Structure 1
């Protein structure tokens, strides 16, 4: 759960009765040349503590060094027993405090599985109808909804409620640690609007789980944190787990580090009780939770939740297409190729400086959990290695037979798409020589071959599943590529503006204008007229730039973006007309591009010193409007102090923040 792209991680992600408890020595005491174990893969799953340690010790040593992770917990359960519960490295490397079974971590979005469990308890008790209008359980709180279809608890728990801004309620920061902000106080001020029919498509959704927890609070009549203590944590014996910060847990909490290994501050939540991600826990406690999950809701002779509810939590409910399951009630299925044919449900979580992953293989009565103190993707590597070692793929999949695709049949896929969570993730779909061509800033150009209508595969084997509306019109796609953020949600096809009355078809700006209109970044000035040669104010351009950059959808980020875009530019005045050099400086302030070393450019006209570098960097990257000609020797006239025309703004913003920017070499 993060506020900006720099903080947003995909880590999941989006993993005998004797309790084996040990803490390894810090890595400094381990052999520097240790590498991942070469032991033969086990086809029986993890059974023996010593064998697991022989596999895991060198794996964690290698991967923690590779990902600059200071410390990590690691637990494995099987058949209702704890096989291994270990700590690796340091909970606090400055104080040389090792990770052990009682080290406290923020488990972040793994909390969502606990919220789903609590909600299903209320369903079991008959206090919540899983498929009824969720507003009946929100104490009078109303959800703005443009679809005409009510949101249900099932929609919330399967990540399909259809909110326009699913992260509008995701507030984290050090300032929230000492505050007590109730859901009653918070939610009416930060309620996003439902704009897609609930249940239609997957969008990773923090707001949905916040509302699910709020419904538990209202239906049970017990404050959410108290409910979790009484109905979940205490029955499971999870004495070191809490929705809220408690002094005795903070004393044992692992330090937080960034990707460079530098300490970073502890961050809290608003609201204080965060059903979407505020739980603190330990490895010792999480083994109990996993054992209950793998025992169909039972623990120590008690039924925590019904077997019927647990089956919903462990069976896939939302699919991109029949071969691409995405979510259960509460859990997800990122990186399905790593499952090696096993039925796996998992849930990851991230807070700044802490990450966790829980992986359950229900049919094998096996699970593992890890928490560690940075924001890296080490958990995904551990998951893959674990599955390859203990549950290797036993059947080689047959190569698919690809179907031919004519340009006529490909037409319905064409267009621009925008991720329904990460608005800055945009994609173009076109056609070339019998294949669809997908192009995005993160993935680059990928040719897509058709396995069957609506299902394609890219050049590296990642699948792209399209979804039609009831009229057979393509409306969404889901892309399983790890490169980028397409995994976190379906991408929606944008409606293209066919024409503006004052933009001729021959205009070299027409495509840029239409692209920005499709993404609702810039539209008509009045009526059906775009006013292509009209000027803009600095405030109008800043507004369009914020929309184009896309991170405004993350709660709390817009103010920071506005400060960032203004950095180093003197005498800004929102009401003043904007010049081309001011626009270039604003774009570069947000884009933070490096000049392309292989592209030599030289500006012939004069720009102010604070703008000159921004202009040359953008031009070297190919971010120029059609009327700015770059000569063969790299020289160009930018007209730096001329007023920026609206059509020029559309070109610069489209090239800088559209589905790609050329060449984007950092």
Structure 2
């Protein structure tokens, strides 16, 4: 479920020579005919599929250091290929086969959506009624006044502040039995955005959806899935829980560097958002049902009407489809114009991908035992081979954007799932300028108002509120985490009576205020030259780092930021060297080799490297000047002022394209 998105690299080999062109015309014609034939039929022949897949998996698994992977292709209600590559356990030399068990992670969400739609078919849940009616009395804190519905949960639009705040995984949960009844009252996040309006990949929403199925049906979720889904589909090696008999066939979990990593379980134990384990053999049956109008072996598992909602895009960013009921559409450029629904999933050390092309009743599924994005490469190659693009896309015509028209886009934006991802948008020479740590600076050209394209062709779509003000954007780049949520425009109108417009700290103070990291000390006064306690700075640092939105990460960061700093006391005033050491403990930056900086004042030994690393990276407050020879006075043992804290935190964790070298 923990999504780790990285940019795919596409290697294009071009071979041309006028000397042999005449000799190769017939070969080219044959290859063209073969490609057209495959494209017309799709994957139908087992030998041809294996001839395509075997070298592809060999190459990509080596490239991504994947020990083992399953791969199954279905077409027209039949399994065409089902085989394993590499090792389920490389130490014991156990190969992957069709019966190897993997944790399928968030592919579970499609099963939860299916179960919810079964309850809709049965008349026990209304997709568009307040979901609290189906939660057995459980209440959801909601600041918006707009009720959240099952439809919102299943389309990733419920509006929770912390969509991953209920995602607890770890080895300590294996063998435990933690019910959703016990879990939810302690961990229910608040809804802060109007449901149905903002796409944010949401684990909490699907956990709640599964809870609603449990309450509406009167059957515990794991039992419900066994009786109503797995058994009718003949999925005898699939479970919501880590059953001992299935764990005997489970693939080992590995880090991306190839080292063995521990198996992790869930809290609550039944995880409608991501706890299912399964095999390629069983997943083939599930895909066949999905591609046969909800039927399997003559039995209706779910109505065609409900399945149509699962296969029809419901949420869009401009004209870019993002989600259905349960499924998604990441990497839209890979579809080559086909209607595709897909779902990926991750548990630490296991990853999966399911791809369905409903029009051709074709699908494939793969699971493998590390956290890499090899599945995205396989998906692209599969589509290019069997469903290549048939029409060349017209080059877009760009519109002129005046600075006056660009004003409404300006500002600071924060990703609505991962708060540490912040983006600045400004204007330069007829184009918007987008800047964040993942993409660096990107020039955006306007195709039409609200729709832009960056320098490598990725789209950025903006959304307006009812008054015509920009409220968010969605970015199709695979760099960073933009694919998994919209980014919300932050309110920048806050002013403080004691921060003049001429202050070199004003921008930093405004940024941190907009992100609710640091605000007024009292009334409308920021108290820029006031000091902070170690506890106050720690709280601001945790918010600036942004990872507190992930379940359990705040405690991890509080321990990490204190490492190596003696005599910490939350009520004691904080010095500049302590603040630098805390930031460096989280950032783990190295000094920039080309920036030779030398600390001139006295700092304690445990703080010197941290101070040097931050200053060499440009993470320094405006009143600390670095001389031409690289020397600087950090005033290490002085008390940290609030305005200085704002600058250090904004630069370290903001949107700047600093030369951050980890």
Deviation of 1:449 (Å): 0.4
Deviations 1:313-367 (A, max 9, x none): 000000111x201000000000000000000000000000000000000001100
> How far apart are the structure 2 equivalents of 1:141 and 1:160?
20
Deviation of 1:663 (Å): 1.8
Map 1:113-128 onto structure 2 (within 5 A): 113-128=110-125
Task: Tell me if structure 1 keeps the 8 A contact 2:115–2:225.
Answer: yes
Aligned to 1:61: 58
Task: Tell me if structure 2 keeps the 8 A contact 1:12–1:334.
Answer: no
Aligned to 2:592: 596
- Match for residue 5 of structure 2 among 2, 10, 19: 10
1:156 and 2:153 equivalent? Answer: yes
- Match for residue 285 of structure 2 among 268, 285, 288: 288
Aligned to 2:89: 92
Task: Tell me if structure 2 keeps the 8 A contact 1:244–1:278.
Answer: yes
1:432 and 2:425 equivalent? Answer: no
- Match for residue 198 of structure 1 among 195, 200, 217: 195
Deviations 1:601-650 (A, max 9, x none): 11111111110000001000000000000011111010011100000000
> How far apart are the structure 1 equivalents of 2:298 and 2:362?
19
Task: Tell me if structure 2 keeps the 8 A contact 1:154–1:329.
Answer: yes
> How far apart are the structure 1 equivalents of 2:60 and 2:638?
53
1:540 and 2:536 equivalent? Answer: yes
> How far apart are the structure 2 equivalents of 1:317 and 1:156?
12
1:469 and 2:465 equivalent? Answer: yes
Deviations 1:244-269 (A, max 9, x none): 11111000000000010000000000
Helix, strand or coil: the match of 1:357? strand
Deviation of 1:40 (Å): 4.6
- Match for residue 490 of structure 2 among 491, 494, 509: 494
> How far apart are the structure 1 equivalents of 2:527 and 2:193?
32
- Match for residue 82 of structure 1 among 79, 83, 91: 79
1:571 and 2:567 equivalent? Answer: yes
* TM-score of the two chains, using structure 2 as the length reference: 0.95
Deviation of 1:11 (Å): 8.2
> How far apart are the structure 2 equivalents of 1:295 and 1:661?
49
RMSD of the alignment, in Å?
A: 1.3
| Structure 1 stretches lacking a partner, 5+ long | 3-7, 14-36
> How far apart are the structure 1 equivalents of 2:518 and 2:527?
11
Alignment length (residue pairs)? 637
> How far apart are the structure 2 equivalents of 1:404 and 1:285?
53
Deviation of 1:307 (Å): 0.2
Aligned to 1:413: 409
Task: Tell me if structure 2 keeps the 8 A contact 1:12–1:349.
Answer: no
Map 1:215-234 onto structure 2 (within 5 A): 215-234=212-231
* Alpha-carbon distance change, 225 to 245 in structure 1, aligned in 2, over 3 angstroms: same
- Match for residue 637 of structure 2 among 641, 660, 663: 641
Helix, strand or coil: the match of 1:266? coil
- Match for residue 617 of structure 1 among 613, 624, 641: 613
Deviations 1:286-316 (A, max 9, x none): 0000000000100000000000000000000
> How far apart are the structure 1 equivalents of 2:661 and 2:349?
28
> How far apart are the structure 2 equivalents of 1:404 and 1:79?
49
> How far apart are the structure 2 equivalents of 1:490 and 1:525?
31
Deviations 1:500-548 (A, max 9, x none): 0001111000000000000000000011000000000011000000000
- Structure 1 segments (4+ residues) deviating >6 Å: none
Task: Tell me if structure 1 keeps the 8 A contact 2:410–2:424.
Answer: yes
Aligned to 2:349: 353
Deviation of 1:499 (Å): 1.4
Helix, strand or coil: the match of 2:413? strand
Deviation of 1:661 (Å): 4.8
> How far apart are the structure 1 equivalents of 2:657 and 2:328?
32
* TM-score of the two chains, using structure 1 as the length reference: 0.95
Task: Tell me if structure 2 keeps the 8 A contact 1:419–1:492.
Answer: yes
Helix, strand or coil: the match of 1:662? coil
- Match for residue 504 of structure 1 among 473, 487, 500: 500
Aligned to 1:403: 399
Deviation of 1:664 (Å): 1.2
Map 1:285-324 onto structure 2 (within 5 A): 285-321=282-318, 323-324=319-320
> How far apart are the structure 1 equivalents of 2:190 and 2:5?
24
489-498 or 300-309, which moves further after superposition? 489-498
Helix, strand or coil: the match of 2:478? coil
Task: Tell me if structure 1 keeps the 8 A contact 2:435–2:656.
Answer: yes
Task: Tell me if structure 1 keeps the 8 A contact 2:6–2:479.
Answer: no
> How far apart are the structure 2 equivalents of 1:639 and 1:296?
70
- Match for residue 362 of structure 1 among 338, 358, 361: 358
